[in-house]
């Protein structure tokens, strides 16, 4: 055991003598000078005294499509309200069949299919308060058993 400790101390002392300088004076190897010259092309550019102009010609229908894609060009104002969610499934055909089944009995109520990965969600109605949404939920409970009242951004309902 003494031999192991003694050999460890000897190795530690020998290796500490061959270690790097501890003064932390780092030097670049090999030393290089700066390569940017004062006559570089970037410094030699002259700026134009007159600003340029760009003219974009496009069809006016492109703006309408862009507005529709981002949801900003709606004829109906958007408010906070409630909808009844009938089904949420990863298979669109199932959601479409449930939508058809719902629309056959409730043709006046608007239906919406949203996609939020990985599921398609069928939501119906535009209700200002939760009580109205719960009323519809109770009416369709016998045909659609797993419904939920969901807080959502809705189109402002028409005042009939």
* Number of domain units in the chain: 1
Collect the ranges in the chain with pLDDT lower than 50: none
What pLDDT, on the 0 to 100 scale, is given for residue 11? Answer: 77
- The CATH number for 124's domain is 3.30.70.1070
Residue 109 lies in a domain: yes
pTM greater than 0.85: no
The model's pLDDT over 92-116, given as tens digits with 9 standing for 90+, comes to: 999 999 999 999 998 889 999 999 8
Question: Is 137 part of a structural domain of the chain?
Answer: yes
Kindly state whether residue 67 falls inside one of the protein's structural domains: no
**Per-residue pLDDT, 10:** 73
109 contacts 118 by C-beta, under 8 angstroms: no
- Other C-beta atoms within 10 Å of 136: how many? 19
72 within a domain of the structure (yes/no): no
Q: Is residue 143 part of a domain?
A: yes
76 Cβ contact list (under 8 Å, min separation 6):
155, 156
**Coil, helix or strand for 44?**
coil
| Domain extent at residue 114 | 79-155
Q: The tokens 């003694």 sit on which residue?
A: 6
* Residue 68 counted as domain residue: no
The answer to whether residue 38 is domain-embedded is no
Q: Do the domain assignments include residue 66?
A: no
pLDDT of residue 33: 62
């Amino acid at each position: 055991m003494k031999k192991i400790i003694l050999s460890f101390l000897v190795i530690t002392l020998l290796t500490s003598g061959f270690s790097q300088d501890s003064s932390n004076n780092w030097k670049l190897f090999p030393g290089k000078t700066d390569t940017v010259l004062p006559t570089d092309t970037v410094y030699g550019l002259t700026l134009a005294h007159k600003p340029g102009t760009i003219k974009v010609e496009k069809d006016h229908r492109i703006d309408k499509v862009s507005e529709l894609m981002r949801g900003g060009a709606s004829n109906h104002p958007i408010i906070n309200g409630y909808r009844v969610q009938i089904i949420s499934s990863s298979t669109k055909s199932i959601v479409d069949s449930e939508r058809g089944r719902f629309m056959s009995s409730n043709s006046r109520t608007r239906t919406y299919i949203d996609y939020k990965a990985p599921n398609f969600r069928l939501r119906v109605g535009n209700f200002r308060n939760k009580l109205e949404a719960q009323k519809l939920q109770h009416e369709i409970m016998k045909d659609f058993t797993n419904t939920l009242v969901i807080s959502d951004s809705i189109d402002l309902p028409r005042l009939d």
